[in-house]
Structure 1
Amino acid sequence: MRTPFRKMHGLGNDFIVIDARARAVAMSNARAAALADRRTGIGCDQLIVLEPSEIADVRMRIFNADGGEVEACGNASRAVGLLLGGEQRIETLGGTIASSTGADGVSVDMGMPRFDWDAIPLAYAMDTLTMPVGWEDLSDPTAVNVGNPHVIFFVPDCDAVDLARLGPAIETDPLFPARVNVNVASVVGSDHLRLRVWERGVGLTRACGTGACATAIGAMRRKLVGRTTRVDLPGGTLTIAWREDGSILMTGPAATSFEGTFEDSDFPA
């Protein structure tokens, strides 16, 4: 039997999207990793499985390229919002979010950020606004959970950081029991950030929606930018607003690259 899929991306952060609402599709960590392999599979940063939901319009399961199932993915949320159209409520492991399509792209209400040390989570208690820790030249980060865990370093030039080397060491540091997404950001202006992300279970990525949200919120908490800011990533720009009700609104583009099918027996569950 063959399973249809759609290849989509948000600012170059790319996904395999499988609609399993009408016909269940078995997905294991090993199968997700095999499909995500860019040499022997279809290739993607994240694999998305859409399933029926009892609490929302759809349930979105998210598997990173290493096969691990994770809580949230902002760019994938926009892609799913584009695929489904209109206004949607989307169930994820990180909570229920809402998407809507408009002239500016797809907007996603990512819910409330969390800052308590055990909500990140960290291995032990500390102030998450300015954490008294460091790795070589990266120090005093802030931490935010926006459905998944992020640590953010504000630096003069994010492009000068050897994130390919430092990212994996920070991601797997014992301080972060669930591992962590690593963000390095530079402040361009009162409503403008530049950002690079080492994504947990993926590596360097052209864009990370939750990373943009977490970084913007971290900058807002430190009063580096206002309540609405643009975030420039290698793949493009997102707009992040921290609304008065406390929720995060992320707006940006998403697109379909192509559609296809794969033979189930080629990627056993």
Structure 2
Amino acid sequence: MSLSFHKMHANGDDFVLVDTRNSANPITSELARRLGDRHLGIGFNQLAVVLNCDDADARLQFWNADGSVLDVCGSATRGAADRLMREASRKSITLRTQRGLLTCERTPCGLIAVDMGQPLFDWTAIPLAQAYDTLVLPLPGDPSACSMGNPHCTYFVDDLGTVDIASLGPSLENHPLFPRKTNVHFVQIIDRQHIRLRIWERNGGIPLGSGSCACGAAVNGIRRGLLDHTVEVECDGGPVSVHWNGSGNVTLSGPVEHVYSGTIPDTPL
């Protein structure tokens, strides 16, 4: 069967949407990996499959470009919300992910805002290999850790230009302290309401941005008393806004853009 898709991005963090509501879902790990290849497929950081759902407007299933599964993707959630709200002529919808039910809204200035749920700080929730205080981990550089449905490890540095992310990222992602690996953030604080963020993404390398990583980095800065409750997070591809009042849920807001739509023939079920 043929496979229709939409290629989108959020400040350069690119993703593909496949809408399988009322049809069979053909996506497997092998097919996700083939579609994610930037030379032989479509190419993306994440793939989001839109599925029918009984208790929300739709359910989202996420894949990395290497064929691995992830529980949540802030950028692709915003992209799916944008398309579904346009389709239904609505300003808000609810989407179910492995993270739970996420409420999405179109802001008055046209951005897409997503309630990303509560951050988790217990060592078992991230998870870590053993019990440690997640505010300051026992690693060189004293990073913080949290979970936004996926694991995040945040380093605060004086100058991002001195950090060799391509070298440090893989070793930190695969450190024995993180049995499910981890996303790694390197944060330079510009002021209490503005940070620069560069990322090594779990199973993905260096992206231009990441919604969930922006949330994790801001949350870790807020809980360490370094940042105010609303933070502009400037990634390589552009800025997003993260709000967290120190308890409760995190809100992620930013733009999304449609790049193109297409069809791949003869996709195996």
TM class, shorter-chain normalised? over 0.9
Q: Kindly provide the CA deviation profile for residues 5-45 of structure 1, in whole angstroms up to 9, marking residues without a partner as x.
A: 10011111111110001212221111100000011111111
Q: Deviations over 1:52-90 (max 9, x none)?
A: 112321111110011101011111111111111121111
Q: Which AA in structure 2 matches 1:133?
A: L
Counterpart of 2:102 in structure 1 is 97
After TM superposition, give the deviation of residue 264 of structure 1 in Å: 3.1
Q: TM-score, length-normalised on structure 1? A: 0.95
- Matches of 2:177 and 2:255 in 1, distance apart? 34
Quote how far apart the aligned CAs of 1:245 are. Answer: 5.8
Check whether the contact 2:9–2:256 (CA below 8 A) recurs between aligned residues: yes
TM-score w.r.t. length of structure 2? 0.95
1:130-183 deviation digits (Å, cap 9, x = unpaired): 11112xxxx100001011110000000123211111111111112111111010
Q: Which runs of 5+ in 1 are unaligned?
A: none
Question: Secondary structure of 1:159's partner?
Answer: helix
> What is the number of residues matched between the two proteins?
263
Give the match's secondary structure for 2:178.
Answer: coil
Report matched runs for 1:177-196 at 5 Å: 177-196=179-198
Native 8 Å contact 2:5 2:16 kept in 1 = yes
Q: What is the identity, as a one-letter code, of the residue corresponding to 2:81?
A: G
CA change 1:245–1:118 in 2 (3 A) is: closer
- 1:251 equivalent to 2:253? Answer yes
Distance in 1, matches of 2:3 and 2:110, equals: 32
Counterpart in 1 of 2:112?
106
Opposite residue 112 of structure 2, the aligned amino acid is V
**AA partner of residue 178 (structure 1):** R
CA offsets, 1:219-247, max 9 Å, x none? Answer: 00011111111010000001111147611
Match of 2:148 among 146, 149, 161: 146
Determine the C-alpha separation between the residues in 2 that align with 1:249 and 1:264: 40
Supply the AA of the counterpart residue of 2:72. A
SS at match of 2:189: strand
Aligned-partner Cα distance in 1 for 2:170–2:55:
36
Give the counterpart letter for 1:111 in structure 2.
G
Query: Mind listing any 5+ residue stretches in structure 2 that lack a counterpart?
Result: 86-90
Does residue 131 in structure 1 map to residue 137 in structure 2?
Answer: yes
Contact 1:242–1:248 (CA<8 Å) still a contact in 2? yes
Contact 2:222 2:246 in 1 (8 A): no
> For the residues of structure 2 that align with 1:220 and 1:149, how far apart are their CA atoms?
17
**Residue pairs, 1:156-195, within 5 angstroms:** 156-195=158-197
Q: Secondary structure at the match of 1:96?
A: strand
Measured in 2, the distance between the counterparts of 1:182 and 1:4 equals 33
Write the letter of the residue equivalent to 2:119. P
Are positions 1:88 and 2:90 aligned together?
Answer: no
Match of 2:88 in 1: none
RMSD: 1.2
Separation of aligned partners in 2, 1:173 and 1:245:
29
Structure with more of its chain in strand, by fraction: 1
SS in 2 for 1:246: coil
Tell me what 1:121 maps to. Answer: 127
CA contact under 8 A between 2:5 and 2:19: conserved in structure 1? yes
State whether residues 104 and 251 of structure 1, in contact with CA within 8 Å, keep that contact through their aligned partners in structure 2.
Answer: no
In 1: Cα distance, 2:61 partner to 2:20 partner = 10
Deviation at 1:104, TM superposition (A): 4.3
Tell me the SS of whatever aligns to 2:42.
Answer: coil
Going from structure 1 to structure 2, the CA distance change for 1:264 and 1:47 (only over 3 Å counts) comes to farther
